[in-house]
Amino acid sequence: MDINGSVAMITGGASGLGAATARRLFDGGASVVLIDLPGSAGAAFAEELNGSAAGRSGTGRTAVFTPADVTNEAEVQGAVDAAVALGPLRILVNCAGIATPGKVLGLDGVLPLDAFSRVIQVNLIGTFNVLRLAAAAMVATEPVSTDVGGPERGVIINTASVAAFEGQIGQPAYAASKGAVAAMTLPLARELARELVRVVTIAPGIFETPMMAGLPQDAQDSLGRQVPHPSRLGRPAEYAGLVAHIVENAMLNGETIRLDGAIRMGPK
């Protein structure tokens, strides 16, 4: 799939992995629809991207911010409609997620069920809500020919985590949600293959994100040293680079790709 001339939707697009992805796809010639919460920096980021393209002849691309909660069907459908208004929707990248920790038996007692449910609702149900509505828009488009991969309609990229495989103490909700995202990759890819839509999941390790930025610098450095090579935190641009490669490589389908510097998480 050619990034140039495509329309892409990115959830969690106002910061972190989502913002880096939006910038990479926009720089590659795609129009981007940023989906994030109303209080995010999405509008300012879209304006920044549009400003970076101002004055360039023949760019034919735009960045749009559509505030939405990924668990809200009507709001997500509005974002899909905004994307379709720009042209055929070809790319979806699901980056929105939360990582609220909580032990089953914590210092304050048993983990509240609504705390567990909220993580599942955002990370799993929200991801599925967006991809199902985006997929419906993708299959309504005419296929595009690619140089080597044959005709395609679209690419869906979801975000899991290494916690899907090595969840740590205090991560039962997060690990369950990300494990489910990884688990649904193959059945989705198998189903949507007949519609010429690919589905791939990325499972990042420890990355520089707004959640990580809340930790003291020495804690961040300590986490980075746990990565075998390179011994540092992952950079959002590296995640975005993998997204771009997945879009462009037609043989990547039905797979969960670890992007983690060979880290295997310990129990805590």
pLDDT tops 80 at residue 30: yes
Q: What is the C-alpha separation between 149 and 140, in angstroms, rounded?
A: 20
Check residue 57 and give its pLDDT.
52
Tens digit of each residue's pLDDT (9 = 90 or more) over 55-89: 565 568 999 999 999 999 999 999 999 999 999 99
Tens digit of each residue's pLDDT (9 = 90 or more) over 92-109: 999 999 999 999 999 999
Check residue 165 and give its pLDDT.
97
Contacts of 32 (CB under 8 A, 6+ apart): 7, 8, 9, 10, 13, 22, 25, 26, 46, 49, 61, 63, 64
Check residue 244 and give its pLDDT.
98
**Contact between 76 and 137 (Cβ < 8 Å):** no
CA distances from 22 to 173, 185, 209 (A): 28, 22, 15
If you write DSSP's letter for every residue of 113-164 in order, what string do you get? HHHHHHHHIIIIIHHHHHHHHHHHHHHTSPPB--TTT--B-EEEEEE--GGG
More confident residue, 145 or 19: 19
**Range with the lowest mean pLDDT among 18-27, 118-127, 148-157, 249-258?**
148-157
**Contact between 159 and 97 (Cβ < 8 Å):** yes
pLDDT tops 90 at residue 214: no
Which residues are marked as active site?
174
pLDDT tops 90 at residue 41: yes
Check residue 40 and give its pLDDT.
97
23: nearest Cα among 37, 1, 42, 38: 42
Mean pLDDT of 13-17: 97
**Contact between 180 and 188 (Cβ < 8 Å):** no
Mean pLDDT of 144-169: 91
Check residue 19 and give its pLDDT.
98
pLDDT tops 70 at residue 251: yes
Instruction: Provide the whole-model pTM.
Output: 0.96
**Range with the lowest mean pLDDT among 90-104, 108-122, 204-218?**
204-218
Tens digit of each residue's pLDDT (9 = 90 or more) over 161-192: 999 999 999 999 999 999 999 999 999 999 99
pLDDT tops 80 at residue 196: yes
**Contact between 77 and 68 (Cβ < 8 Å):** no
Q: What's the CATH architecture for 7-207+235-259? A: 3-Layer(aba) Sandwich (3.40)
**Range with the lowest mean pLDDT among 27-36, 37-46, 139-148, 246-255?**
139-148
Average model confidence (pLDDT) for the chain? Answer: 94
Check residue 249 and give its pLDDT.
95
Check residue 55 and give its pLDDT.
55
